[in-house]
Structure formats: structure tokens, C-alpha cells
Structure 1
């Protein structure tokens, strides 16, 4: 590392400059920006969420505010006066653009309605179908074949592994507003290391269903009920390769879904009852975790 030409300190030619702020584009810039923003929010009385380092919470004297950090910021809370104070304080420390109502964030469209908020991936799905040249594909009524018996070695030839993994990753992000697709995406994701033409055909079938349901959205309702409740289910030996079962569960706060997951069980269940109990334990542990957040 050397001093730039024309700016060499003749008395200290082997010294280097210490930057007062990070240069945008360097690897250290995101961390430096986050640390500066974090210190500013902590000074205002916020604290970091234990489960998500990008979420900051203010909870004091009946005032509840949330700040979600990415390239953009989402600020929301139950006290508009204090919210404006936070925005003004951050504006004195950082260069902020004008704040508007939330309408689009990380590919998710936010549509306010009378009942609450619609979270939609309409534009995201359209861009995905356009990239895969499937805008004009025939629509189907189910996310998977009714009798889809997927196996690791199905006798068909290999497909483009990079495109397969990229598409599965895009579908996994779609689960933010389409939790009912979790099982199909989880099943297809199990073949990313050895994907075949048959597996790719099932991915395209799923995309045809996504196209048919492009306007489906997730509704978050206004409510005062904060009771946690969950539902779990499991198949028995559904994986034809290792005969492991699949767990699926969904956690609700009131009527709003807040956590869901589909996963293959770690051990082989010897009965359908044992598979159901494993699913129940997994769901119960997530409910306990959510109750402490």
C-alpha cells in the first residue's frame, strides 16, 4: 500500500492515510455503515433483536417502534410523534431521502387495504417467468403432479444444474408470501446436487402453477389478539430414497401467519404416529421460540 502519486508526504513517505469514513464499494463499507447506524439507533433507545441483527426495537412507556435495516429502511410504530423524532435525529446524522409510505421492499409489494396489508410478489413472479421465458406457459391447478414420485436416480439425463439451483433459490424467496408452496419447493430443492430433466419438468410445472396464482397474496390483518397457535402435519416415509418422513408446520399470531417450515425428518419414523409426534415436537419448539421474541 502506497501514498497516491502527487500526494506523497515528503517527511513521511512510507506512511499511509487513515480514512475518516469508508469508501463506498469496498468490502468494509457495509459493516462500517451498519455499525454507524446501529450506534445511532442505540443512542435513541433502540435495542437489537436477538433473532435478527437487522431489526431494531424501541419499547418504552407504551411506545413501540420497529426499524428494519437493509439498503432501505422500514420504520413503523404506534406513536407518529416519536417516529418523526427518530427520523429527524437520523437525518441529522445521515443523509436521508424523503420518507414515503411503504409500497415495495426487497421484491415484495405492500398494498394497504381496509383489513390490513397485502404482501404480494406479483412483480417478482412476472420477472421470474420472463427470465425463464414462461410468460406464455400453460397454467395448471396444482403445484405438483398428483402422483409425483421423485427419486434421486430416476434414469433421466442431467439438466442445467446452475439454472436449476437459481430457479429453486428464486422460488424459496417466493415463500415469503406463498407459504403453501413450501412442501413443493422443499421437495424439489433436495435434488439440487444431482438434478435431472425429470426434476426440471416438475420445477416448470410448479412455475406454471405460480403463473396461474400470480395474484395470490398474504394478508396481514389488524388485530389485538396476540395468542400463538400452531398446526403441524407429517407424511410417513414419503422419500423413496431413504424413507424419511417430512415435517410441515405453521405458526400463527392471532390469525396472521408468522412462521412456517417444511423439512425432512432426521431419523426414519417406524410408524405414522411417530412421524406425527416428531412434527408436533418441532412445531412446539418453534412456538416456544416465537413466544420469547
Structure 2
């Protein structure tokens, strides 16, 4: 390492500043337990920019049972400000996976934000105000085994009737990849929507495995893919399931091939244990806090 640093300093005008503590708004704290990543200052800057440092904190980022995409309230008086704040929230999802659903939803109304959408942004900021130091822990005791949770919210978009897909990929007990997206086509059943979510998660698992191999880590065992839909798991295991599969594109059946090739193993998980559930819908305070604790989100700044 010393020779490599010397070689770089000979080739470029640079110096060694030691271990990274702050990089592009991301704060890095190290301990024997692992590496903690947060964006505390960045989050507080967003709250301060909107003038909400004195606001009452919210218990969750979004209100349950909202109808934001179908809302017909008056247009937002300052759409430029709305777009700026949502844009800054996108960067905040680097260390706050649970914001993916809120950002995914608000990003769909950037072209014509309404007052209800601005109020939803305010609720996200009130949550940030109450927990500015939250971040993810990349644990040092990870077993370097990849597992993923995938979920979908059937027909979640009231305008297009498309479902939402989400996945959370863990390396050991550390979250390393997550995503929320609207599916490309309308699913004809909840089983089909869940199966499409499995297909999206599989693509990420394959890429993650190749990345580990490039880093010299061989993943010999099957990667576990957790899903709370038994019907979707049956589709992945059963070649003949015509009634549920006749509308599904061929590329989705890569899940079936991956199971057959023993690349992944599909595992059923109860809905209340489904980590990706937090990425597909707005949850109540109790299940929201429960899921946060299970996939590595913590706050080092909270007094114990």
C-alpha cells in the first residue's frame, strides 16, 4: 500500500489525507463493529433550507393510505423549489434506503406538483428533522453471503394501474443495494407482480455476484431470494403453471432458470418479516421502526 501511494504521488500532484471521514456529503465513522455511513449535515442543510428546523418531527416519512398520484389539489405555488428539494432527497437515499419509496413517488409528479405533494415533501423533511443522523452500518463481521428480499405493491399506481417493485440486497447483515421502481407493464395478478419483482432482484444478484468475483471473493453457495408470495415461488419452481404465467414475458422466466441452475434458492418469508416492504408502501410507525432495525439502519447520534 505504501509503495502504491508513493507511485500515485509520483504520477499525480496529490497527498495522503489519511482515512476518509467526509466525502461528498457522506460522513464516515469507523469502529470495531464496522463502518457507519450517514449524511447528517446534508440532511440538516435540506431541512434548514426550507426553514423547518423548528418544526415538529414526524414518526414516518409518509402518511399511510395516501392517494398522492391521483390528487387534484391546487398546483404548487413554487414548483422550482419542490423540484430542488426532491432532487436533494434523491441523493439522500444513498444512506437512507427507506426514503426510496417516498422519493420514487414524489419524482413522478415533478412535472406538475400540487399542494398535497408539497405537504408530502414537508412530512419527509419533518421526519429528517427528528432523525438527522440515521445511516447504514456496513458490519465488519459480515459472512460475505449475498441474500435479497423482493416485494411488490400490486396495481399501486392509480393512473396507470402498474405495480411497484422493490428489492433489498444484503451482504451478510449489511445493506449494499436497494431499489424501488414502477413495473414496465400492467400485471394481471399479484402473483405476476411479485414474480416480476423477483426478476428485477435476480438481475441485481447476478451483478453483485460478478462484482464479488472481480474482488476475489467466490460465492459458492446459492444466493437466497426471500419473497412473501408463495404463488410467485411456485411459478419459479413449476414449469407448468399456465393460468398464472401466460401473460408473463419470457425474460421474467430467468428466475426459473436461476432456480434450476441452483444460482438462487427462493425462500418464503412472512409479510411482517419482508424487509423490502418498506420500499413499496407507506407503513405505520410501529412496523416502520421494526423494519428499520432489521436491515442495518441506525443512528449513532441518539443518546443511549
TM (normalized to structure 1)? 0.69
Q: Does 1:218 align with 2:136?
A: yes
**Quick check: 1:135 aligned with 2:53?**
yes
How far is 1:163 from its partner? 1.2
Aligned counterpart for 1:228 among listed residues 127, 146, 171: 146
**1:86 counterpart = 2:1:** no
Aligned twin of 2:113: 195
The 1:281–1:127 alpha-carbon spacing in structure 2 relative to 1, beyond 3 Å, is same
Specify the alignment match of 1:251 in structure 2. Answer: 169
- Quick check: 2:76–2:118 contact (8 Å CA) kept in 1? no
How far apart in 2 are the matches of 1:278 and 1:240? 19
- Root-mean-square deviation (CA, aligned residues, Å) is 1.3
Shift of 1:147: 2.1
d(CA) in 1 for partners of 2:80, 2:179: 25
Check whether the contact 2:75–2:112 (CA below 8 A) recurs between aligned residues: no
Decide which of 44, 47, 70 is 1:126's aligned counterpart.
Answer: 44
Distance 1:159 1:236 in 2: 33
Q: Which runs of 5+ in 2 are unaligned?
A: 212-304
From the superposition, tell whether residues 159 and 269 of structure 1 become closer, same or farther in structure 2 (CA, over 3 Å).
farther
Check the 8 A contact 2:162/2:185 in 1, yes or no.
yes
Give the C-alpha shift of residue 156 in structure 1.
Answer: 1.8
Aligned to 2:98: 180
Question: What is the CA–CA distance in structure 1 between the aligned matches of 2:56 and 2:150, rounded to whole Å?
Answer: 33
C-alpha distance in structure 2 between counterparts of 1:122 and 1:113, whole Å = 18
Structure 1 runs (4+) deviating above 3 angstroms are none
Partners of 2:33 and 2:140 within 8 A in 1: yes
Q: Which has the higher contact order (CA 8 A, sep 6+)?
A: 2
Matched residues in 2 for 1:125 and 1:244: separation? Answer: 31
Q: CA deviation at 1:269?
A: 1.1
> For 1:107 and 1:89, how far apart are their aligned partners in 2?
28
Give SS of 2:68's match. Answer: coil
Query: What does 1:1-293 align with in structure 2 at a 5 Å threshold?
Result: 83-152=1-70, 154-223=72-141, 225-293=143-211
What is the CA distance between 1:242 and its match in structure 2?
1.1
- Whole-Å separation in 2 of the counterparts to 1:287 and 1:97: 37
TM-score, with length taken from structure 2: 0.67
Q: Distance in 2 between matches of 1:156 and 1:275?
A: 33
Question: Alignment length, in residue pairs?
Answer: 211
| Contact 1:103 1:110 survives alignment (8 Å) | yes
Structure 1 residue 249, shift from structure 2 partner: 0.4
Q: Retained in 2: the 8 A contact 1:246–1:265?
A: yes
Greater mean deviation of Cα atoms: 154-163 or 245-254:
154-163
> CA deviation digits over 1:265-292, x for unaligned, max 9?
1111111111111101110111011111
Write the distance in 1 (CA, Å) between the matches of 2:139 and 2:189: 39
